[in-house]
């Protein structure tokens, strides 16, 4: 059973701080990793994807992947109250079915 | 505007009454899928389709059917809904599913209540 684990939170950070969200996965063969943001009552929105070890930056967001340790993280710099949402980690393994496995999400609260 | 459109957004129905939730995308995506989202359980895939006439089961297919007769449409059918199918449902689509983004676009969601 493939598992993707996230701390449910809530993670509370002050405005302007760095928010660090973590995700671990059980299938060592996983190769594609995705972060989605979901506001309450809304649909998930893809914000980052990463395939290679290391860091990938996009604006205030940085995804970090460490396949040896089987974790992927999302850093949000200069956090804003509008970043308050649930962040979902998703993992896909190549071959066979194309079913991505989602974590249950981490709730982030950015307070002014 | 690129989008995935689901209908209806909200639905209350009774046990056993067949219903269909429609999903349509205007991006010419090959890959489409259906999820349900339940508190504490996260997003779970019901069915997915890699192209027209090609569908396959996800993690929780029991009680659901799908069809993919056209590239843009991927309806979800509940032949005999039961209360345990009360959930928030999302349709999603993606242009690339190998080496590219997973479900890059989600529909607005359908909140289904079965009484």
Cβ contacts (< 8 Å) between A104 and chain B: which residues?
40-42
Contact: A103, B42; criterion CB under 8 Å: yes
Q: Does A1 touch chain B (CB under 8 A)?
A: no
Cβ contacts (< 8 Å) between A46 and chain B: which residues?
101-105
What average pLDDT does the structure give for chain A? Answer: 92
Contact: A45, B43; criterion CB under 8 Å: no
Question: Is A55's pLDDT higher than 70?
Answer: yes
Task: Return the residue of A nearest to B90 by Cα.
Answer: A43
How far apart CA A75 and CA A46 sit, in angstroms, is: 15
Cβ contacts (< 8 Å) between A34 and chain B: which residues?
101-102
pLDDT at A75: 98
pLDDT in tens, chain B (115 residues): 889 999 999 999 999 999 999 999 999 988 899 999 998 888 999 999 988 999 999 989 999 999 999 999 999 999 999 999 999 999 999 876 555 556 778 999 999 999 9
Contact: A34, B101; criterion CB under 8 Å: yes
Condensed to tens digits (0 to 9), the pLDDT of residues A67-101 reads 999 999 999 999 999 999 999 999 987 765 567 88
Q: Is the dihedral of CA B71, B73, B74, B77 positive or negative?
A: negative
């Amino acid at each position: 059973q493939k598992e993707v684990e996230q701390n449910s939170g809530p993670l509370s950070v002050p405005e302007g701080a760095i928010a660090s969200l973590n995700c671990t996965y059980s299938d060592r063969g996983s190769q594609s990793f995705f972060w989605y943001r979901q506001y309450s009552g809304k649909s998930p929105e893809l914000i980052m994807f990463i395939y290679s070890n290391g860091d990938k930056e996009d604006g205030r967001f940085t995804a970090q992947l460490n396949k040896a340790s089987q974790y992927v993280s999302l850093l949000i710099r200069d956090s804003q109250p509008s970043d308050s949402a649930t962040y979902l980690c998703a993992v896909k393994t190549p071959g066979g079915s194309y079913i991505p496995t989602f974590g249950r999400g981490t709730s982030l609260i950015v307070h002014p | 505007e690129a989008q995935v459109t689901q209908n209806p957004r909200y639905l209350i129905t009774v046990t056993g009454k067949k219903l269909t939730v429609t999903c349509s995308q205007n991006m010419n995506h090959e890959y489409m899928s259906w999820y349900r989202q339940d508190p504490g359980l996260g997003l779970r895939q019901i069915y997915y389709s890699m192209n027209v006439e090609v569908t396959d089961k996800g993690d929780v297919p029991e009680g659901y059917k799908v069809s993919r007769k056209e590239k843009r449409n991927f309806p979800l059918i509940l032949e005999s809904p039961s209360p345990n199918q009360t959930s928030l449902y999302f349709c999603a689509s993606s242009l690339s599913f190998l080496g590219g983004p997973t479900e890059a676009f989600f529909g607005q969601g359908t909140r289904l209540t079965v009484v």
